[in-house]
């Protein structure tokens, strides 16, 4: 992981530490976390040289962004949560132009 990966990680953790004390509602947290993930997706895909780290961080971003949405719409249980997280991952992959990167 390089400085870009570290910056994305600090941003995500910072958003979590900001959302809790301010008492953001799930709808507000969904919007905030989604915007952070959407802005971070191109950085994660194209600036992290190791493909495994990039894909892992992309999946982490999708879990991060989908968490408040799953709570907002009361989606619980592994079978119900996985498609939502994968849909977020696919959306972030499209936002970050994931097909333009060589994943080898």
pLDDT 10s digits, 49-75: 999 999 999 999 999 999 999 999 999
pTM of the model: 0.91
pLDDT tens readout for residues 3-52: 999 999 999 999 999 999 999 999 999 999 999 999 999 999 999 999 99
What's the number of domains the chain is made of?
1
Angle at 82 between CA 12 and CA 21, to 5 degrees: 30
Range of the domain at 61: 3-100
């Amino acid at each position: 992981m390089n400085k870009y990966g570290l910056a994305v990680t600090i941003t995500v953790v910072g958003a979590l530490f900001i959302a809790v004390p301010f008492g953001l509602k799930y709808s507000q947290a969904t919007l905030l976390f989604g915007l952070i993930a959407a802005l971070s997706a191109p950085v994660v895909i194209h600036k992290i040289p190791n493909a495994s780290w990039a894909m892992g961080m992309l999946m982490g971003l999708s879990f991060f962004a989908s968490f408040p949405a799953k709570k907002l719409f009361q989606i619980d249980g592994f079978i119900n949560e996985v498609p939502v997280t994968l849909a977020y991952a696919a959306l972030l992959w499209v936002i970050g132009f994931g097909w333009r990167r060589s994943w080898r």
